Amino acid sequence: MKVYKVGGAVRDKILGLMPKDADWVVCESSVEEMIEKGFTPVGQNFPVFLHPQTKEEYALARTEKKISRGYQGFTFNADPSVTLEEDLKRRDLTINAIAENEEGDLIDPYHGKDDIEDKYLRHVSDAFVEDPVRVLRVARFYAKFKHLNFEVHKDTLSLLKEMVQNGEVKALTRERVWQETQRALDEKNPEAYFELLDSVGALPIVFPGFPMGQDWEMMSEPLNDQHLMNITKFILIAYWSGFTVDMWEKLMKTLAPPREYIEVGRMYFKHYAGLSYVLSKEDETVDLLIALDSFRRSKRFDIFLECVSIVQPENKKPLRDAYIKAKSVDAKTAIDQNQDMAPHTAVRQARIDAIRENNV
């Protein structure tokens, strides 16, 4: 058996970046031999194993053949006769199709190192068009490397547009779309993910409601804050895209996001326009905090506040101060001191009074 390091770890090493977990490909081996050597099989669709010590993933070299529509419509061949070059050829981009042997030598049959130097995201082969997930992956890698001045090669752009026009992108499941989107939101330029989808015509298919041809570049600086939560970034991108509450609700039904995205986004689009007025009224401020469920779920308030801090920085401190004062109210004491009120009314009034005292 022959073992090679492949993919992102090799690419990032060439770029001078800190590689994450390494992936490995094994040639001239079999499932039986891997198990015999102590590897644990974990792949559902093709032979992937965990190393007995490092727990890194080792996959048998394989080829793939398109048999039906969509990204799951493939059959795989992991015979010991499959070569490293054949395995690398099935990969999406040349920069991800570089291998390194045990001596540290690069095997680069598709000139990925040249494309790294030229700062191109380029497809490996024409089989690229067979997998619609690659539209999302190229967009994600553009978000990852745009700050290093990478561009999508014109030939690859043409293939991406072809995949949109032939309807292949419509085969993407909402779960896979959300998975790739979450990863894109982690990158240096998350807005570039949407920019690339826009440029190839995929945006209205993948994200209904997002307008095409907008100024994505203006989002770059505020979103480049690596301390922002992914949910905040997504809500802000929708905000700058002109979203309303109804548009948000429709988008959430199309995707498969966590419930937190649905509910906090709904509250933000419902309340951001009138926030300055709400903060001038202690009772309405408390009602907003209650609607956010912020006294039980503080993270929801943190997300809302983070959005406010970017779009309406003047409202950040008043909102945070009001929350701190309202949250400091002891519910039991408020109820005991107002026996003539319903419990929830007594607590609400105590929170209003606490904010009012702070504003005097």
Looking at the domain covering 1-112, what would its CATH class be?
alpha beta
Q: pLDDT tens for residues 195-238?
A: 999 999 999 999 999 999 999 999 999 998 889 999 999 999 99
C-beta pairs of 238-245 under 8 Å, 24+ apart in sequence = 238/210, 238/265, 238/269, 239/268, 239/269, 239/272, 239/307, 239/311, 240/214, 241/209, 241/210, 241/211, 241/214, 242/211, 243/209, 243/269, 244/269, 245/269, 245/270
Q: Which residues contact 225 (CB under 8 A, 6 or more apart)?
A: none
| Region class of 55: left (phi > 0), else alpha (psi between -120 and 50), else beta | left
Q: Please report the pLDDT score of residue 72 as a whole number.
A: 59
Record the pTM. Answer: 0.90
Residues 126-137 have pLDDT tens digits of 889 989 999 999
Average per-residue pLDDT in the chain? 93
Instruction: Give the other-Cβ count within 10 Å of 299's Cβ.
Output: 12
Q: What is the pLDDT of residues 101-159, one digit of tens each?
A: 999 999 999 999 999 999 999 999 988 998 999 999 999 999 999 999 999 999 999 99
Please tell me the predicted confidence (pLDDT) of residue 360.
63
pLDDT at 65: 78
Write down the domain spans for the chain.
Answer: 1-112, 272-360
